[in-house]
Amino acid sequence: MQGNNHDDVRRHNLSIILRLVHRGGAASRAQLTRLTGLNRSTIGALVAELVERGLVEERTPDPTKLAGRPSPIVAASDRVVAIAVNPEIDAITVGVVALSGVVHRSIRFATPTTPTVAEAVAITASIVTDLRREFGEYSIIGMGVAVPGLVRAHDGLVRNAPHLGWVDEPLCDLLAEVTGLPVVAANDASLGVTAERYFGAGQGMTDLIYLNGGSSGIGGGLVVGGVAAGGRAGYAGEFGHTRVSAGCRTDSAGIAGTLEAEVTRGALLDVLGLPAGETDADDLEGALLASTAPAVRAEVNRQVDFLAVALAGAVNILNPELIVLGGFLAALYVVDPGRLTRAVAALTLGTAFDEVQIAPALLGSNLLLIGAAELAFETLLLDPQSESGNSSGLSPLSVRAAGSATAAVSPEIAPPAAIQPL
């Protein structure tokens, strides 16, 4: 829709306000006035429109903690949500994440084998059907997918997710077809750095690195000079394929001696005697902390030392303020933070390492869901006046595998009429 200059300015200001309360947390009207430089009446009118659209709510401040006339508190809505999806080699995780940052629901559906794209779409569609029933009075904006692999930025095509065996798969198109929602996908670790930057350990920082370790391998994300660094096509941050040893173990790409070849969740589970499909990152961390077995300690030390090589290279090249470790890499750090810190320090320039912090991800198992939801929220954040999101009266959900007939996912799929777009 074409708009005049006044329309464009208002849209821009609405976007600024919504981003502030979405990523910065609830703020008073007075704080928003100071942060934006807009006058009080303009802030009042903008907030009123966002309230009318259901994107924010206003709360009465605690009068005991304020001097003078209290200013209403503006908070992002808990009832505007995105569906977040994270496929891995042993499970599909689907969550409902609110614009306020609250994770309303997280469902991990374990799979006996690595899911194909068709199976991942079918599982996701079935879970989304149940979630639509449960959250029938909420506004679903869209779906974001955190993929453990290379995702083409401009259209969401999964170019290569080696652990999943997915090559050139139109995942977004398939999910959009069966759910009727706008779907956006990106590399999981790139979304992890987004989540930690805005909602976790990296708040307020301009240069940070995030490394995620999951059942599907190791990936990373970068923020350089305050800007997310995705590379030309969105493939930047593949720390898992960085060479860290002269060993003969190979990673998913067939490259020997890489971080992903030497540092693995599977090796930790094996030495602990834990089942892969039933153990999440929190369980693994607890088991590592509780174990006194020499074999467990030896494996932790081996992996920590190889992880240090990759982190030291990143510090020397990128000079970050913060390195955030997620998934099983966070567990390795928590078990022996001193060893990892000393090993990285020994391989880096002292002046660069002096200003670096290494920390586990603060968002825990919700991190990738929050990051994926940001993909879905981005269109709304750019234009809070847009009419985007779910629609009613969709045909029954189905999934079509390449070269196969359409198979129904569930006999009761039509979303409830109560769900309406913003």
- Tokens encoding 187: 């590399």
**Same-domain pairing of 110 and 66:** no
Backbone angles phi, psi at 109, to 5 degrees: -100, 105
- 43, part of any domain: yes
Per-residue pLDDT band for 62 (boundaries 50, 70, 90) equals: low
Q: In percent, how much of the chain has pLDDT > 70?
A: 88
**Same-domain pairing of 146 and 262:** no
Give the model confidence (pLDDT) of 179-202 as tens digits.
Answer: 999 999 998 888 988 899 999 988
Task: Specify the CATH number for the domain of residue 35.
Answer: 1.10.10.10
- Tokens encoding 39: 């006058």
Q: What is the mean pLDDT of residues 13-20?
A: 96
Q: Is the dihedral of CA 163, 165, 170, 172 positive or negative?
A: negative
- By mean pLDDT, which of 7-16, 191-200, 275-284, 327-336 is the weakest? 275-284
Give exposure, 254-268, as e/b (b: 16+ Cβ within 10 Å).
eeebbbbbbbbbebb
Whether the predicted pLDDT of 391 surpasses 70: no
- 195, part of any domain: no
- Structure confidence at residue 420 (pLDDT): 28
Q: What is the mean pLDDT of residues 24-41?
A: 93
In this predicted model, which residue has the larger pLDDT, 175 or 230?
A: 175
**Same-domain pairing of 221 and 341:** yes
From CA 313, how far away is CA 258, in angstroms rounded? 13
Which of 61, 76, 91 terminates a domain? The answer is: 76
**Same-domain pairing of 175 and 213:** no
Q: Which of 43-52, 216-225, 245-254 has the highest mean pLDDT?
A: 43-52
Distances (CA, A) of 23 to 160, 187, 226, 240, 353: 31, 21, 15, 29, 29
Residue pointed to by tokens 């999440």? 280
From CA 59, how far away is CA 402, in angstroms rounded? 51
- Give 69: exposed, middle or buried? Use CB within 10 Å, 0-12, 13-18, 19+: exposed
- 418, part of any domain: no
Give the structural domain span for 321.
203-362
- Structure confidence at residue 63 (pLDDT): 59
Distances (CA, A) of 312 to 202, 269, 305, 317, 344: 19, 26, 11, 9, 5
Per-residue pLDDT band for 414 (boundaries 50, 70, 90) equals: very low
- 393, part of any domain: no
Which of 76, 94, 121 terminates a domain? The answer is: 76
Whether the predicted pLDDT of 257 surpasses 60: yes
- Structure confidence at residue 192 (pLDDT): 87
Q: Do 293 and 171 form a contact (C-beta atoms < 8 A)?
A: no
**Same-domain pairing of 28 and 164:** no
Per-residue pLDDT band for 403 (boundaries 50, 70, 90) equals: very low
How does strand 208-214 pair with strand 322-327?
parallel
Q: What is the mean pLDDT of residues 24-43?
A: 93
Whether the predicted pLDDT of 338 surpasses 90: yes
- 419, part of any domain: no
Backbone angles phi, psi at 141, to 5 degrees: -80, -40
Whether the predicted pLDDT of 226 surpasses 80: yes
Within its chain, how far is the Cα of 15 from the centroid?
21
Half-sphere exposure of 69 (CA within 13 A, CB side): 2
**Same-domain pairing of 326 and 342:** yes
Per-residue pLDDT band for 388 (boundaries 50, 70, 90) equals: low
Whether the predicted pLDDT of 404 surpasses 80: no
Task: Specify the CATH number for the domain of residue 173.
Answer: 3.30.420.40
**Same-domain pairing of 210 and 235:** yes
Q: Which of 201-210, 224-233, 333-342 has the highest mean pLDDT?
A: 333-342
- 380, part of any domain: yes
**Same-domain pairing of 211 and 357:** yes
Mean pLDDT of all residues belonging to the chain = 86
- 30, part of any domain: yes
- 266, part of any domain: yes
**Same-domain pairing of 229 and 336:** yes
- Structure confidence at residue 31 (pLDDT): 94
Give the model confidence (pLDDT) of 133-162 as tens digits.
Answer: 999 999 999 999 999 988 988 888 999 998
From CA 336, how far away is CA 347, in angstroms rounded? 18
Q: Do 200 and 361 form a contact (C-beta atoms < 8 A)?
A: yes
**Same-domain pairing of 291 and 370:** no
- Structure confidence at residue 418 (pLDDT): 31
From CA 133, how far away is CA 13, in angstroms rounded? 35
Contacts of 299 (CB under 8 A, 6+ apart): 267, 268, 271
Per the structure, the count of domains in the chain is 3
Distances (CA, A) of 113 to 83, 89, 110, 256, 273: 24, 7, 9, 25, 19
**Same-domain pairing of 354 and 218:** yes
**Same-domain pairing of 227 and 272:** yes
